[in-house]
Amino acid sequence: MATSSESKSLLEYNNLHIDSDLQVVIVYTEWNEKIIAELLRGVQHVLSKFPSLNVYYLQVPGAIEITNACFRTIELKRAQVIIALGCVIKGETPHFDYVCQSVTQGITHLNATQRIPVIFGVLTVNSVDEAWDRLGGKHGHKGEEAAIAALKMCHLNYQTSIK
């Protein structure tokens, strides 16, 4: 987890209003299987604190396909929040840049145009070592952080729906 006291307060989630029937969909990629498994473990660790949540999983081939799966989930009204997980590791070609830009713009577009929050839990890193630094290493655990962001967005939706 993050080490500064300011960052630690950002990771608090115990006082959030979370509906007992909340449906969470986790969209995750096949690529970089070990890294994705650890991202999922981090998400599950946080979500397990709320045993009444309904959690569903959708696996897609790669990061480009994340946006489509999220959009279809929204279209079918299958979730109140979606957590998108992936890992794109830089290689020797510009493919990395195109994939990162595509998935980032796709998720940003969904967040700007849809009512269901889509949490960006996609690692975009230069190396496998950088990915592991973000999975419990010196940069915290991005899976846990994605789950916390999802819970906070659900709480925000609750707060803005109070009449």
Q: Domain for residue 154, yes or no?
A: no
State the catalytic residues.
95
Which contacts (CB < 8 Å, 24+ apart) does range 44-49 have?
44/147, 45/143, 45/144, 45/147, 46/13, 46/144, 46/147, 46/148, 46/151, 47/147, 49/13
Q: Give me 25's structure tokens.
A: 């969909």
Q: Domain for residue 97, yes or no?
A: yes
Q: Domain for residue 140, yes or no?
A: yes
Which H or E run contains 25?
strand 23-29
SS3 at position 2: coil
pLDDT at position 2: 45
Q: How far apart are CA 95 and CA 30, in angstroms?
A: 17
Number of domains observed in the structure of the chain? 1
Q: How far apart are CA 96 and CA 11, in angstroms?
A: 29
| Global confidence as pTM | 0.92
Which residues, including other chains, have CB under 8 Å from residue 22's CB and lie 6 or more apart? 50, 52, 53, 54, 80, 81, 154
3-state SS string over 30-75? CCCHHHHHHHHHHHHHHHCCCCCCEEEEEEECCHHHHHHHHHHHHH
pLDDT at position 123: 98
Q: Domain for residue 163, yes or no?
A: no
pLDDT at position 162: 67
Q: Domain for residue 153, yes or no?
A: no
| Structural contact between residues 144 and 38, judged by C-beta atoms closer than 8 angstroms | no
Residue 150: closest CA among 31, 49, 34: 49
Q: How many residues does the chain have?
A: 163
Q: Domain for residue 103, yes or no?
A: yes
| CATH number for position 120 | 3.40.50.960
Mean pLDDT, 10 residues at a time, over the chain (163 residues)? 51 83 96 98 97 96 98 96 98 95 98 97 97 93 97 92 67
Q: Domain for residue 100, yes or no?
A: yes
State the residue range of the domain holding 60: 18-148
pLDDT at position 4: 38
